[in-house]
Amino acid sequence: MLTKIRILDMGQDDPKKCTAQRLARFDLAELFHRISTLPQMGVLLDPYCERPMDISDKLLVKVGGLVAVDCSWKNASNLFPKLQLHGLESRSLPEIVPVNPVNAGKIGKLTTAEALAASLMITGFEEDASDLMSVFKWGPSFLRLNTF
């Protein structure tokens, strides 16, 4: 895994189903539990951002890595504005079809792992995306279904 993956884990998911915690267990991501401890560089995956991620973000991802937030969708609208002030470059994702067992087929309802893998694919880090998704039974299906 070449890309730095950081996840702000708000502790709002069932640990057994949490894709962020699974990535951390496999040493594919670093978990943070407070906004203040996040490094102030990288691309923040923000569903409310107007600027979509594209291949031109490759250098930003290569240098600063990716930052995802693992939180309940119910709390997301309050949390993301706070992260805007943290010095991260925010980017949204295009419409993507999840394949995770909870939200399969519900466009945009991605797990943290799916959002990270999609970002890696969009910015040309296909091998890193494959590494992330390899720890989920449904991971390879996600990559096959969503081509960028």
Which of 2-6, 13-17, 48-52, 106-110 has the lowest average pLDDT?
13-17
Residue 131: the pLDDT is: 96
35 pLDDT tier (thresholds 50, 70, 90): confident
Query: For residue 43, which phi and psi values (nearest 5 degrees)?
Result: -105, 120
Residue 96: the pLDDT is: 94
Residue 20: the pLDDT is: 93
Residue 1: the pLDDT is: 66
Q: 45-74, pLDDT tens digit by residue?
A: 998 889 999 999 999 999 999 999 988 777
- The whole-angstrom separation of Cα 113 and Cα 53 is 16
How much helix, strand and coil, in percent to the nearest 5, is found in the chain?
40, 15, 45
Query: For residue 125, which phi and psi values (nearest 5 degrees)?
Result: -105, 60
40 pLDDT tier (thresholds 50, 70, 90): confident
The pTM of the whole model exceeds 0.75: yes
- In the chain, the number of structural domains is 1
- The whole-angstrom separation of Cα 148 and Cα 53 is 11
26 pLDDT tier (thresholds 50, 70, 90): very high
Q: Which domain holds residue 129?
A: 5-145
- Torsion 28-32-138-42 (CA) sign: negative
